[in-house]
Amino acid sequence: METIIWLAIIGVIIWYYHSRKKSGGEPLDVPATIKRAEACAYYWKKDIFQLVHFDSPHFIDRQNDFDAMEINYLRLKQRFSNEPNKVLELARDWCKYAEALHSLKFARVYFDVDMSEQAFERLEETSKEPWIIKEEVEKKFKSLLGADFQEIPPDYFKRMETMGEVPKEIKDRLGMVRDWQYYYRDDKNLWEMNKKRAKWEEEWKAKQEKEKQEKEKAEASAKKGESIGNKFWKWLMQDSEDKKQGKTTQSEKK
């Protein structure tokens, strides 16, 4: 059952990615106001921070990118508060930045389920434009903020390079699939993700247990109904037999 659900999830991911690519990845119009531009950014935030079928350091990186750049955007918004047109320009950049993070995340999601020989090439191709948007918006915000720019936290590859290999005892405890979490042990987004995952798993188990109990209850009810039906049928047959024997006895007396 669980395998079927994961296959369905993967199917939705593939469908979503292709439909998005086909439509040009522009579900929202270019925001006409600051308020709409900010709403656009937080629209993408929901997807950036939501759980998918597996956990990845690259998803944590995109969440950290969003958090850092949100501070930079809010600082710039205040700095240029007397220039509405400039703030609108920045808000639109903020919206594009959030969408680029979303695209980078789902490029990795799709890569995880892409079993073709062109998987790496496809990842590189789909990541190219959103990665450039990400870098250019960061450069623009940094040039405007100077020393006040909130630096982007190091990504997975930089953390590996700086911190070296995962210690064997940590690797054995976390396992090969989760040993990357060693590099993010002080990262709030990792802890939040783990809390969400634990809650999701708890709710999933509770749902499975509830379905199991409901199934057992239905089966017990069906058996009970069958038992009552069998007793009624036996009584009916016995009653019919008794009546038949009664008629036979009366006939013999005559």
Give me the amino acid identity at 112.
Answer: D
Residue 115 and residue 1: Cα distance in Å, rounded?
22
Confidence grade of residue 241 (pLDDT, cut at 50, 70, 90):
low
The answer to whether residue 171 scores a pLDDT higher than 60 is yes
Whether the predicted model's global pTM rises above the 0.85 cut: no
pLDDT digits (tens, 9 = 90+) for 24-82: 444 447 899 999 999 999 999 999 999 988 899 999 999 999 999 999 999 999 999 99
pLDDT digits (tens, 9 = 90+) for 15-25: 444 444 443 44
Q: DSSP string covering 5-68, please?
A: HHHHHHHHHHHHHHHHHHTTT--SPPPSSHHHHHHHHHHHHHHHHS--SS--HHHHHHHHHHHH
| Mean per-residue pLDDT of the chain | 83
- Token pair, residue 93, equals 């950049």
Count of CB atoms situated within 10 Å of the CB of 72: 24
| Range 84-114 burial, b when 16+ CB lie within 10 A, else e | eeebbbbbbbbbbbbbbbbbbbbbbbbbbbb
Q: DSSP string covering 72-122, please?
A: HHHHHHHHTTT-HHHHHHHHHHHHHHHHHHHHHHHHHHHHHH--STTHHHH
Q: In this structure, are residues 94 and 100 in contact, taking their beta carbons and an 8 Å threshold? A: no
Mean pLDDT of 210-231: 73
The answer to whether residue 140 scores a pLDDT higher than 80 is yes
Q: In this structure, are residues 193 and 59 in contact, taking their beta carbons and an 8 Å threshold? A: yes
Residue boundaries of the structural domains of the chain: 26-153
**Collapsed DSSP state (helix, strand, coil) of residue 151:** coil
Whole-number pLDDT of residue 24: 41
Residue 218 and residue 208: Cα distance in Å, rounded?
15
